[in-house]
A = this chain, B = another copy of it.
Amino acid sequence: MSNAAVSEHQPIPRMKSEDRRELILEAATGVFGQYGYYGATTDQIARAAGVSQPYVVRMFGTKERLFIEVIERALVFILRSFRAVLAEGDQDLRARLGSAYVELLRQRGLLLSLMHSFVLGGDPVIGPRARQGFLEVYAFLRDEAGFGPDDANRFLEGGMLLNTLVGLRMSDEFETSDAANEMLCAALPQKLDLLLELGKSQQADA
């Protein structure tokens, strides 16, 4: 048995700070997405990332700074994804952006972490970042995607309802409630299968 095998068993898997950082941000995104800023603990995040709790704090300074990094990273993903859609053409832009947004659900907790930040607008440090993030998306829709105020609004409305339904885990009721079923079908023209699939996998985790 090689040394490599031994250090896999008692893992002190050193890696570059940058990589570890990304790993923790991903884990934190999932945990914050589920429990929100206050509800999530640095210990949960650490376990999800496979590192020790003090290490998480050490790397990001405070839980608050970690949360800020999580939501700023989430925003980067959203805008990157939207710009990729834009680069592919102008046909059906609204539908394709909507589709891209739903696809972001694959990154667990990404949209929900943001959603949690949106309802903490009163917080003196989270609030301003959250507003800025939201406004950046709005600016993208207006200036880059060329939406008018009404179209931009419509798009955001749909996005916020989607976030809410995901946060609610409404997909859990898909089979048990006709109303839930109907609502989900109306809210997600396509992509319903993705939502249900992700819903099941996260039920399995928990």
Contacts and interface: CB of A to CB of B under 8 A. Distances in A.
Interface of A: 34-39, 112, 115-116, 118-122, 127, 130-131, 134-135, 138-139, 142, 149-150, 152-154, 156-158, 160-161, 163-164, 166-170, 172-173, 177, 179-180, 182-183, 185-187, 202, 206
Nearest to A149: B186
A173 B122 contact: no
20 contacts: A35-B38, A35-B122, A36-B36, A37-B39, A38-B39, A112-B119, A115-B119, A115-B164, A118-B168, A131-B168, A131-B169, A135-B183, A138-B183, A139-B179, A149-B185, A149-B186, A150-B186, A152-B183, A154-B157, A160-B164
Contacts of A168: 118-119, 121, 127, 130-131, 134
A33 B154 CA distance: 25
A9 B151 CA distance: 57
Q: DSSP class of A's interface residues: helix, strand, loop or mixed?
A: helix
Number of copies: 2
A88 to B, nearest CB: 25
Contact of A179 (B35, B135, B167, B186): B135
A166 B179 CA distance: 27
A121 B37 contact: no
